[in-house]
Amino acid sequence: MIRSAVRGGTLALAALSLAGCGINSVPAAEEEAKGRWADVQSAYQRRADLVPNLVATVRAAAQSETQILTNVTEARSRATSINITTEDLSDPAEFQRFQEGQNQLTQALGQLRTVVENYPQLQSQAGFRDLSDQLEGTENRIDVARTRYNEAVQAYNTEIRTFPSIIGAKVIHGAEPLQPFQAEAGSQTAPTVDFGTMGAAPAAAPANDNATAGQAATGTGN
C-alpha cells in the first residue's frame, strides 16, 4: 500500500512537472493567438465587403476618376487573394505578403478620399454617408483586432521562449514563433477614412493617378 502511494505520488509529481514544462500552456497560448487572428480576418473581410458598394457610389458622382477607382478595385482584389491560414502565422514571408496587400488597399482608399473631397455633392447622399460611416467603423475594428492579436502573439512567443515552457515547446510541440503586425512610420492610429469632411465648393477634378496603389501604414494596436 505504501508502495502504491509512493507510485501515485511520483506520477502526480511527473504530471505537475510536465504541466510546468508547457504541455498545456503552450497550446493554450497558441489557440488564443489563433482566435485573435480570426478576429483580424473578420475585420479585414468586412472592409473588403464594403469596398465594391463604396466604389460604385463614388463612380456615379465622379465618373472621370476612373484610374483611382480602378486602383481601389485592384487593390481590393490583391488583398482578398492573399489567404493566410493559422499555419502560415509563423511564416514571415507569407505574413508580410498579407500585410502588404492590406496596406495597398489602405493606400488606395486614401486616394479615393482625395477624390471624394472634390465632389461635395456626395455628402448629401444618405447611401454614401452610411457606407463611409461603416468604413470608418471597420477601420477602427481592424485597429483593435490587430492590437489584440499582437498582444496574444507576444504572450505566446514569450511562453515558448521562457523556462520551463520552452522545454515542452521544443520537445513536445515543435512550436515556432508567430508573426505580429509591424508598425510603420506614422501608423500609430487607424487611417482616416471619414468622407464627410468635404469643402463647401468643388475643386477642380484631380488628374488621374497612374501609380499603382503602394504600401501604406495601418494601425497596430484587429
Q: In this structure, is residue 19 part of a structural domain?
A: no
15 in a structural domain: no
User: Is 214 within the bounds of a domain?
Assistant: yes
71 lies in some domain: yes
pLDDT of residue 187: 45
Q: What integer pLDDT is reported at residue 120 of this predicted model?
A: 83
Contact yes or no for 181/109 (Cβ under 8 A): no
Name the amino acid, one letter, at 184: E
Q: What is the pLDDT of residue 20?
A: 55
CATH code for the domain in which residue 184 is found: 1.20.1440.20
Count of structural domains within the chain: 1
pLDDT of residue 184: 60
- pLDDT of the residue at 221: 39
Report the alpha-carbon distance of residue 156 to residue 30 in Å, rounded: 6
- Grid coordinates representing 83 are 489567404
Question: Tell me, what's the pLDDT at 169?
Answer: 84
Give the tens place of pLDDT for each residue, 8-48. 444 444 444 445 577 889 999 999 999 999 999 999 999 99
Whose CA is closest to 214, among 71, 89, 85, 90? 71
Whether residue 133 is contained in a domain is answered as yes
Range of the structural domain that residue 43 is part of: 24-222
Q: What span, in angstroms and rounded, lies between the C-alpha atoms of 34 and 107?
A: 27
Which amino acid is residue 74, in one-letter code? E
pLDDT reported for residue 218: 36
pTM of the predicted structure, to 2 decimals: 0.74
Please report the pLDDT score of residue 11 as a whole number: 41
Domain membership flag for residue 38: yes
What does the pLDDT read at residue 174? 82
Task: Give residue 16's pLDDT.
Answer: 43
Identify the pLDDT of residue 172. 78
Which parts of the chain sit beneath pLDDT 50? 2-18, 185-191, 193-194, 196-222
How much is the pLDDT for 182?
87
Q: Return d(Cα 139, Cα 203) in angstroms, integer.
A: 27
Question: Is 185 a domain residue?
Answer: yes
* Residue 83 located in a structural domain: yes
